Structure 1
């Protein structure tokens, strides 16, 4: 009978030790599990931010292209105005005025209707 009691005590001690080890392992791995969840949340947030960044970058590229087109139009209009003023003052610059008129026609007929469509 003492051997049975000793065996029961040993089994209880082993069960208690296993239970303690399991609890210790659970406590040891708990921060890693929380960290894994946090990394997943951060990866999702970064993915969302990258998508938004790409969308905004596309819009900025379109705006930049639009500004370049507007810059060309403004340059042509200012040059035409300058030539017109010079012609009114001295009657010369007819050739430059004809050249500007041709370029304005080219701009209006070739690109004028499609500037917004390019964006």
Structure 2
């Protein structure tokens, strides 16, 4: 999937998350640029910080059979909210928001794949 398409899918997922779940929202007056910036920051945090967090939390992750990854994803969403126009009501809301965001992203990725917008990538 191309970078622009991936960015747009992430931006749409963040926007839908803010519309569906009350614990995550954008600041009043946030426009499309704010949503795109949040998507870019989410991509950067997922690429640079999330792997380090997963590596550091590996022992706890093994003990919890991978469920601690939900907490790491919540931390990632909380970091994105700290750096952008995204607002998260608390850490619990960040964990629930991360779960909902994963489901929304999965559905959007499946739709993009079904419509063959990703260039036929498997």
Same fold (TM over 0.5): no
More helix by share: 1
- The higher-RCO structure (CA 8 Å, 6+ apart) is 2
More strand by share: 2
Give the structure with higher Rg (CA): 1
